[in-house]
Amino acid sequence: MFIEADDGATQGRLSLETAKLSEGFFEQLRKHPVPLEEAAIKALSNNAPALDVYLWLAYRLHALKGNRLVPWGALKAQFGTGFSKLYHFKNKFPGTLALATAVYPAAKVEITEEGVVLNPSRPPVTPRLLATR
């Protein structure tokens, strides 16, 4: 979608219309859907890094069987490709994580010197049980 201004200039793409997923990831999503809070997505819509972290936490935390340390190097590889130095990323990521956990208060994470510890947490949206006859 492109928006044309009154003066004939065009504004860039405003939304992503399609995304290509690998077959393996698609199958994982089919088997284990990720519950997301629509209000959280709206709240983070102007902050792509925080939205990415929210989606990652929503995908990982409710499926964990135990605590899991994600080292800083792995976090930078996933979320910090725009940072040339790890220490720049380490200084910035806690703020991004705080925004994501503000809209996902059930997320149990802790920042350590080694990285971020993920703890099993309730999903951002409580699953609904459907009655069957």
Domains of the chain, each with CATH number or no CATH = 36-126 (3.30.1370)
pTM of the model: 0.77
Tell me, what's the pLDDT at 102?
97
Instruction: Flag residues of the chain having pLDDT under 50.
Output: 1-8, 10-11
Q: Mean pLDDT across the chain, nearest whole number? A: 85
d(CA 18, CA 26): 14
Alpha helices in the chain (DSSP H): 23-31, 38-44, 48-61, 72-79, 86-102
Tell me, what's the pLDDT at 26?
83
Tell the residue number behind the tokens 């010197």, with chain if given.
113
What digits encode the pLDDT tens for the residues 29-41? 788 777 788 999 9
